[in-house]
Amino acid sequence: MATGKYPSGIAILYPLVKFRTIKIPIPITAVAKTSGVRLWTARTNAIAPRRYDLRLRPDLAACAFSGSAAVAVAVSVPTRHLVLNAAELAVDGSSVRFQDLVPSEVVLFEEDEILVIGFDQDLPIGEGVLKMDFTGTLNDQMRGFYRSKYEYKGESKNMAVTQFEAADARRCFPCWDEPSFKAKFKLTLEVPLELVALSNMPATKEEVHGPLKTVYYEESPLMSTYLVAIVVGLFDYVEGSTLEGTKVRVYAQVGKSNQGKFALDVAVKSLDLYKDYFATPYPLPKLDMVAIPDFAAGAMENYGLVTYRETALLYDELLSSASNKQQVAITVAHELAHQWFGNLVTMEWWTHLWLNEGFASWVSYLAVEALFPEWNNWTQFLDETTSGLRLDALAESHPIEVDINHASEIDAIFDSISYDKGASVIRMLQSYLGAERFQKALASYIKKYAYSNAKTEDLWAVLEDETGEPVKDLMTTWTKQQGYPVIYAKLDGRDLHLEQAQFLSDGSSGPGLWIVPITSCCGSYDAQKKFLLKGKTDKVHIDGQNAGGEKSENCWIKLNIDQTGFYRVKYDDELAAGLEKAIKAKKLSLMDKIGIVEDSYSLSVARKQTLTSLLRLLNAYRDESDYTVLSHVTSVCLGIDKISVDATPELCRNIKQLLINLLLSAAKTLGWDPKDGESHLDVMLRSLLLIALVKLGHEETINEGVRRFHIFLKDRKTNLLPPDTRKASYLAVMRTVTTSSRAGYDALLKIYRETAEAQEKSRVLGSLSSCPDKDIVLEALNFMLTDEVRNQDAFYVLGGISLEGREVAWEWLKENWDRVLKTWPSSSLISDFVKSTVSRFTTEEKAAEVSEFFAGKTKPSFERALKQSLERVRINARWIESIRSEPTLGQTVHELLQHEL
Ligand code: BES
Ligand code: ZN
């Protein structure tokens, strides 16, 4: 096989946007990026794959594989070239045939990941079979066909696993690797006899040949390449079945399959639920879910063979925390939702990725709400909305529907915009249209586009048809436009004046204009108003007794009831005061309490209101005891704490104390020890508050955490440190570790080395770098580079870096950049390195220094993360500047502290 220049006969097209030919010596065969020189997509209007017959032989010891493909291809326009995707594969040129035609050239363009097969004559119109043999390596990068390591009976073993989304099927076999090229897949695997070999479809036959077996699988229905999957290794499983009789299995490492029972139960129930919700049966004959020890993302929805990192699938009553449990349930529900939304109906192109991810995220809450009503899952959904709103307030955000001009840009859009904003605008639309109408329309959409592809507008069209509402006009303002509005609300007599402006955290206003579903209520939730704000301004007439002016605790007006809308509200002083009173008087719903504190925090960051007023508002939450609300209050407290050292060193201790006081009474009520029969959310709350108090430096909590840790060290089974409070204790230990007294750090490392449990390992890793001692932070970062830490787990260490360690972490990143980039090439992982080091800074100078370092080094995989992090630094710098000039901050902090005593 040659690599080199494009064959002269290839006509190059601009992709997707317009099929514009730049030179047409022969009929159209391939499309290229902007310049016409780079040929990066195999999209063509002449050729379509129909069916892949793939045979793969992984060699686990040698970390290599060989394979052969026979692809039935429909040729609809005369052409002499087949243009498909391949990367890091060696295609044996002499093996390539199209029917009995021998190609005149077989050229791989490594950089563009394109394989061109040229013939001396036109290929016959109609269906023909393209055959070829190829080899590749089982890489270490958690993408394509890769190896993952595990221990079995004290020995290190390799397993072979695939991860193809977004564009890595081409690293396993040559293919038309874009979501709209749906085809049927028939796989055959040749593997060692003793191993479990799984693929999307059930095995039909196994033949034994000496130490190897050949496993044949059923042919799949039409599906996209990124959903093809293979897993080969040693596993145990647990099995269940849906009401319809679909067999569901959870595979885990030998000896761990019992930890799959919880996920199995969630999976079986979710499949039944989705079948009803989408009014379409689960499309495949079986579903397998597998825990993979090395896994880049959290989980992957491969059709019929869903893969997970261990922490996202395995749950153990004794070893896992309540929050681990929730994570497993949400992840399973998310991936199974994809079996319909994503796998059966697939986005047409990556621009519409949010149709996959936003919907799966939203639907997962629906399922988990039904399975675990006591978790108050829809209130917890506001975590998603919050992350979406926080990211989308950056100028460096992007619209939900985003142009993708190169395969290398795809991975970076698996972000909070596609997931969290996507899911939130769906909730907004559902709440506008009504749950029942919405569900019916979704079911029609699934039916209409089953086994095929859809664009965002296709969904809007179905929803419009079914409901008669102007869905497209409404939703286009949210999906094609980046950002979201803040609604300024002012009361003028009985008129409530509303004005929208694009909200940006840097304090400026963008040009955006949205059609905003406004909801409001006044004094009670009984009478609610609902309308679409279409222009810049509008007003609502407030009737009833409860508008502003009067002094009763019923004088409150809340917009965006239960935060169903993806926007913020800035109330005038009078309305804000009314809401503060209503919070104290416990008149508001949990969701509204969350919305108010979140909006107020973001408005402070954007300098639309003072930190002083935010602290006063926080004081209204002092008696709060609900997990869902306190999780937001806590996150706001920690946000304030992070900048207060830089903003007002002289007040910083007092502010810390104030924040501690806010959380302390709820924390004291719960204590450290679990109580019989307490609710899931109280267990979550205990963990949340103890961690926050440790982070805020509350001495008593830190001492108690350290005390319990020492007992735990002697007796790992002690009831004094169950999984839910362990992280708080580990953090407490690390807050007291110094270079000279490092016994706690060493003890944590010992725990890390002794446990085989991924969730426990993640708890330790997330604590190691949280030490105030810079030398220890450095040690933790270097430990992360050793073989003892899986590459997939680096982000735990990064996420824990202490404020005191930010400078050392940045220096470390600069020194190790080349190695880091090579070891963690995937977008989400490399972006974690950039975000966690850069966004902790708060000065313009530092932002300039970071930009200078990265000048000439950026890549699509982390470019957006870098820009966003730099923007955050600059936003913090300005916020700090303005906090310094708040005239009454010191006095207010003092007063609030006094009030406490
Ligand atoms: N399709 C994604 C996995 C993925 C992410 C593939 C990024 C390629 C690039 C999967 O459905 C997913 O969204 N996983 C989430 C879990 C979830 C509960 C939101 C994840 O990995 O975090
Ligand atoms: Zn997903």
Q: How would CATH label the architecture of 341-479? A: Orthogonal Bundle (1.10)
pLDDT at 213: 98
Indicate if ligand 1 lies below 6 Å from the C-beta of 745.
Answer: no
Topology of the domain comprising 46-149+157-226: Immunoglobulin-like (2.60.40)
Mean pLDDT of 54-76: 97
Domain ranges of the chain: 46-149+157-226, 341-479, 484-609
User: Which pLDDT tens digit goes with each residue over 255-292?
Assistant: 999 999 999 999 999 999 999 999 999 999 999 999 99
Distance, in Å, from the CA atom of 262 to the CA atom of 765, rounded to the nearest integer, reads: 25
| Ligand whose nearest atom lies closest to the CA of 328 | 1
Q: Are 810 and 869 in contact (CB under 8 A)?
A: no
Q: Give CA 502 to chain center in angstroms.
A: 25
pLDDT tier for residue 44 given thresholds of 50, 70 and 90: low
Residue 544 gets the label, from left (phi > 0), alpha (psi -120 to 50) or beta, of: left
Distance, in Å, from the CA atom of 403 to the CA atom of 408, rounded to the nearest integer, reads: 12
Indicate if ligand 1 lies below 6 Å from the C-beta of 298.
Answer: yes
Peptide bond into 329 cis (omega under 30): no
Indicate if ligand 1 lies below 6 Å from the C-beta of 142.
Answer: no
318 DSSP β-pair partners: none
User: Which pLDDT tens digit goes with each residue over 122-180?
Assistant: 999 999 999 999 999 999 999 999 999 999 999 999 999 999 999 999 999 999 999 99
Indicate if ligand 1 lies below 6 Å from the C-beta of 168.
Answer: no
**Residue located nearest, by CA, to atom 1 of ligand 1:** 300
Atom of ligand 1 nearest to the CA of 828: 7
pLDDT tier for residue 407 given thresholds of 50, 70 and 90: confident
Tell whether the model's pLDDT for residue 19 goes beyond 60: no
Distance, in Å, from the CA atom of 835 to the CA atom of 829, rounded to the nearest integer, reads: 10
**Residue located nearest, by CA, to atom 2 of ligand 1:** 300
Which residues form the catalytic set? 335
% of the chain exceeding 90 in pLDDT: 90
User: Could you tell me the CA-to-CA distances from 718 to 352, 568, 710, 711 in Å, in that order?
Assistant: 50, 46, 11, 7
% of the chain exceeding 70 in pLDDT: 94
Which residue is associated with the tokens 């099995």?
Answer: 239
- The length of the chain is 901
Tell whether the model's pLDDT for residue 545 goes beyond 50: yes
Indicate if ligand 1 lies below 6 Å from the C-beta of 165.
Answer: yes
Pocket test for ligand 1, best of 357, 362, 408 (most atoms within 8 A of CB): 357
- What interhelical angle do 806-823 and 827-838 show, nearest 10? 170
Long-range CB contacts (within 8 A, 24+) of 811-817: 812/778, 812/781, 812/782, 813/837, 814/853, 816/785, 817/857
Domains 46-149+157-226 and 484-609 share a fold: yes
Tell how far the Cα of 297 is from the centroid of ligand 1, in angstroms. Answer: 6
pLDDT at 112: 86
Tell whether the model's pLDDT for residue 472 goes beyond 80: yes
pLDDT at 899: 78
203 DSSP β-pair partners: 217
Tell how far the Cα of 349 is from the centroid of ligand 1, in angstroms. Answer: 17
Q: Are 841 and 645 in contact (CB under 8 A)?
A: no
**Residue located nearest, by CA, to atom 5 of ligand 1:** 297
**Closest by CA position to 442, among listed 419, 424, 428, 458:** 458
Tell whether the model's pLDDT for residue 323 goes beyond 70: yes
pLDDT at 40: 57
User: Which pLDDT tens digit goes with each residue over 718-742?
Assistant: 889 999 999 999 999 999 999 888 9
pLDDT at 554: 67
User: Could you tell me the CA-to-CA distances from 436 to 441, 486, 518, 519 in Å, in that order?
Assistant: 9, 29, 20, 19
pLDDT at 550: 53
Tell whether the model's pLDDT for residue 45 goes beyond 70: no
Tell how far the Cα of 289 is from the centroid of ligand 1, in angstroms. Answer: 14
Atom of ligand 1 nearest to the CA of 298: 21
User: Which pLDDT tens digit goes with each residue over 85-94?
Assistant: 999 999 999 9
Pocket test for ligand 1, best of 331, 354, 363, 792 (most atoms within 8 A of CB): 331
Atom of ligand 1 nearest to the CA of 364: 18
φ, ψ at 713 (rounded to 5°): -60, -35
pLDDT at 216: 98
pTM across the whole model: 0.95
What is the β-pairing status of strands 485-492 and 568-571? parallel
pLDDT at 231: 98
> What amino acid is encoded at 53 in this protein?
D
Indicate if ligand 1 lies below 6 Å from the C-beta of 338.
Answer: yes
**Closest by CA position to 53, among listed 168, 131, 117, 170:** 131
Q: Are 720 and 712 in contact (CB under 8 A)?
A: yes
User: Could you tell me the CA-to-CA distances from 104 to 2, 44, 93, 120, 122 in Å, in that order?
Assistant: 11, 20, 10, 6, 12
pLDDT at 804: 96
User: Could you tell me the CA-to-CA distances from 215 to 55, 169, 190, 427 in Å, in that order?
Assistant: 10, 20, 6, 44
Mean pLDDT of 794-799: 96
Q: If DSSP codes are grouped into helix, strand and coil, which group holds residue 186? A: strand
pLDDT at 551: 55
Atom of ligand 1 nearest to the CA of 296: 21
Indicate if ligand 1 lies below 6 Å from the C-beta of 384.
Answer: no
Tell whether the model's pLDDT for residue 29 goes beyond 80: no
H or E element at residue 612: helix 611-619
Distance, in Å, from the CA atom of 1 to the CA atom of 36, rounded to the nearest integer, reads: 24
How confident is the prediction for the chain on average, in pLDDT?
93
- Judge whether 338 is annotated as a binding position: yes
| Ligand whose nearest atom lies closest to the CA of 411 | 1
| CATH of segment(s) 484-609 | 2.60.40.1910
Distance, in Å, from the CA atom of 756 to the CA atom of 314, rounded to the nearest integer, reads: 12
pLDDT at 18: 25
Q: If DSSP codes are grouped into helix, strand and coil, which group holds residue 417? A: helix
pLDDT at 104: 95
- Judge whether 406 is annotated as a binding position: no
Between 34 and 73, the more confident residue is: 73
Poorest-confidence range of 109-113, 139-143, 453-457?
Answer: 109-113
DSSP3 helix / strand / coil % (the chain, rounded to 5):
45, 20, 35
pLDDT tier for residue 900 given thresholds of 50, 70 and 90: low
